[in-house]
Amino acid sequence: MYVFIANRFYIYIILNGFERFFFNSIVVTFGAIIISTVFAAMAAYAVSRMIWRNSGRTLVVFLSGMMIPMHAVLVPLLIIMTRTNLYDTYWALILPYAAFALPMAVYVFAGFFGTLPRELEEAACIDGYNIYGVFMKVMLPLIRPAVATVAIFTYLSCWNELMFAISFIKEIRVANIELAAYFVISAEGMSIKRIGILFKTNA
């Protein structure tokens, strides 16, 4: 089965090139960036700026996610993907990538939010903003450097990831560039130089 999949990828690349896999990598990577950034920013604002019970413990729970290795949840995620019909879809990669990006993103955003003076929120409330307006129009624009930092780190981790891709994806239509390169190497025993020549030929 494994040899069949590798040969199928190899034949597809010979005929069509790598463009499809680049597109898939872009969809998966930017999907994970958007989801993780949005949810992490909201969570970080809630635990670092709002006063409520157990906010500190909630932040610790988020940060503890950085101690969970990806390989430890590989089998449970595989079971979840198959039972929810997410196997061989973009979401099979987007959701795990976004989930593993959340702890670091929350940590960065919480640090940036903690440096902002509370007078900004008080002034916005006096001007008539509710909590959502304060977050979207006052606080979020001030943490643009943090957003860029989180986006870059998430991009690098998602674009270079192979373990989830090789476990959750077997179809050409949703495979990313790392998975395609891996199967080509497996099918032909190619070197990186040979793959470069193959890509140049199909470009």
Give domain status of residue 135, yes or no: no
* Separation of CA 19 from chain center: 21
In a domain, residue 98? The reply is: yes
User: φ, ψ for residue 102 (rounded to 5)?
Assistant: -60, -50
User: Does residue 107 belong to any structural domain of this protein?
Assistant: yes
- Among candidate residues 129, 135, 153, the one with its CA nearest the CA of residue 41: 135
Distances (CA, A) of 160 to 34, 36, 122, 176, 182: 17, 17, 43, 10, 12
pLDDT in tens, the chain (203 residues): 444 555 566 666 655 667 888 899 999 999 999 999 999 999 999 999 888 888 889 889 998 988 888 888 999 999 999 999 999 899 999 999 999 999 999 999 999 998 999 899 889 988 888 989 999 999 999 999 999 999 999 999 999 888 999 889 888 888 888 888 777 776 555 444 454 544 545 55
Task: Say which CATH number the domain at 24 has.
Answer: 1.10.3720.10
For residue 122, tell me if it sits in a domain. Answer: no
Full-model pTM: 0.84
Residue 137 lies in a domain: no
Is 42 part of a structural domain of the chain? yes
Looking at the structure of the chain, the number of domains it has is 1
What tokens does 136 get?
A: 């979207």
- 120 token code pair: 């900004």
Distance between alpha carbon 39 and the CA centroid of its chain, in Å?
12
For residue 28, give every residue at least 6 positions away whose Cβ sits within 8 Å of its Cβ, in sequence order, or none. Answer: 90, 93, 94, 97, 158, 176
Residue 138 lies in a domain: no
Instruction: Give the range of the structural domain holding residue 72, as residue numbers without chain letter.
Output: 2-116+146-202
Looking at the domain assignment, is residue 30 inside a domain? yes
